Amino acid sequence: MGWIAWERFTCTIDCDLYPNDCVNEKLFRQMADRLAEDGYKKVGYQYINIDDCWSEKERSESMQLVPDKSRFPQGMSSLAEYIHSKGLKFGIYGDCGTKTCAGYPAQLKSEQDLQENYFDNDANLFAEWGVDSLKFDGCNLEAGKAESICPRMASAIEKARRPMVVICEWPFYMLRRQPKLSPNYTLAQQACNAWRYFDDVEDSWPSILSIVDFTISMQQNIAPYHGPGHWFDPDQLVIGNFALSVDEARVQMALWCIWSAPLYMGNDLRDISTEMANILKNVNLINVDQDALGVFGLMVKEDNNGNFQAFVKPVEPIKNGCPSFVIAYLNRKTLGNPSDVTFNTRDLLSRSPIALAAQRYASVYSNSNPGGLFLADGCKKFLQYGMTKDSRLIIKSVTQERRQEVEEKSIMYEATDLFGDGHVEPVALNGNLTLRVNPSGVRIVKLTLLDN
């Protein structure tokens, strides 16, 4: 979690014309102040990341990257020190190709000779500067060559002996620029802590919806590879900029958290309304995002010609062998009044990625028998999900007898509205969950098993 310059400040380098909005050291120092002093750090945001356009246009005679002399006169070590003094971490930006996307020096020397690169050189320099994270872009490199070159940057960083969170972009270029190529996500997991898979977010509702739609279209591919230490990155939160309404901003926050996405804000923290800041600092939502199981929540049911979509994510706490669940209802209608959206609880929960949750629980807590876990008393009676030793999902049919038993016992969940939009009555597993949702809006609730 953190803040990154790109979506809001892009490649603004004219500091005479835009003294407060240009990419210079003052900007990053001020954002670090805001992160530390305005309550963002307290709820988990900790990285301040530079994006493109930070360096001189040419390397030095000794082939080193040089921070732009007029915009970063004190250099990167000094900026890193300042950011660290606030208890925050410092991220920088590079590119696996011959130039960054905006045409600045990057880490590859030539596309003809792929052995020729600045990976070790620059990793050492970044480590010397006190860098804690690298966004590693993929412009100016043939997407088909990325997988044979870019992962080597992770080894260079390892050799430089300063731990850095690495955010990669080549899966995005493979998926979007040469869609016939399918990225090897196991390789991405080995070399990157997160990776982009879709177009750059922009400050608009259509941009948010395009990310939502693409993500849903590949959710079955994402979920198995997404988890602690290696995340799919749907790009920055644009909450607090110019375009999104409060409802739309809540949608972005809710879905990014349902996905356990990296939460990097791309906004101006010096100039943000309290309402938007509160969405970004909502601890209930952040807890969903940061849930230890790190399961990628799925869109499991649609209604009203696709206008109503229900998302489910299994989360902690685990009670009697059953996870809790976070459910989000998205209302995509742009006409009319708020709608009552209704889905059957069992229908939603039985489609949730519970096997992944079991697997994750087993690895997070070193439980040797994940299948047993979710077959514990209480859970098996209605979910009938389990896993074999080799992590295959088994779904057993619910016998008539069991079904009756469940119905009689009427398993109940306590429901908490995570945006605090009002009291939600406890929900029966055999019942419906109805929530009134604004147009272009979302409701998000957490269901925790009631004890009786």
Cβ nearer to ligand GLA, comparing 21 with 316: 21
User: Closest distance between ligand GLA and the C-beta of residue 114, in Å?
Assistant: 21
- Exposure letters 52-66 (e unless 16+ CB within 10 A, then b): bbbbbeeeeeeeebb
User: Closest distance between ligand GLA and the C-beta of residue 49, in Å?
Assistant: 10
Q: Spot the catalytic one: 137, 203, 233, 291.
A: 137
Cβ nearer to ligand GLA, comparing 138 with 297: 138
Q: What does the alpha-carbon distance between residue 228 and residue 305 come to, in Å, rounded to a whole number?
A: 35
- Exposure letters 168-190 (e unless 16+ CB within 10 A, then b): bbbbbbbbeeeeebebebebbbe
Cβ nearer to ligand GLA, comparing 232 with 385: 232
Q: What does the alpha-carbon distance between residue 35 and residue 42 come to, in Å, rounded to a whole number?
A: 9
Whether 49 contacts 2, CB under 8 Å: yes
Q: Spot the catalytic one: 21, 199, 200, 417.
A: 200
User: Closest distance between ligand GLA and the C-beta of residue 149, in Å?
Assistant: 18
The contact set with ligand GLA (CB under 6 A) reads 6, 51-52, 100-102, 137, 169, 200
Q: Is 137 a catalytic residue?
A: yes
* Token code pair at residue 364: 């997070």
User: Closest distance between ligand GLA and the C-beta of residue 201, in Å?
Assistant: 8
Cβ nearer to ligand GLA, comparing 82 with 172: 172
| Run of H or E residues at 31 | helix 25-37
Question: What backbone torsions phi and psi does residue 280 show, to the nearest 5 degrees?
Answer: -65, -30
Spatial strand order in the sheet of 441-449: 298-303, 308-319, 322-331, 441-449, 412-417, 427-428
User: Closest distance between ligand GLA and the C-beta of residue 196, in Å?
Assistant: 6
3-state secondary structure of 275: helix
User: Would you name the residues annotated as active-site residues?
Assistant: 137, 200
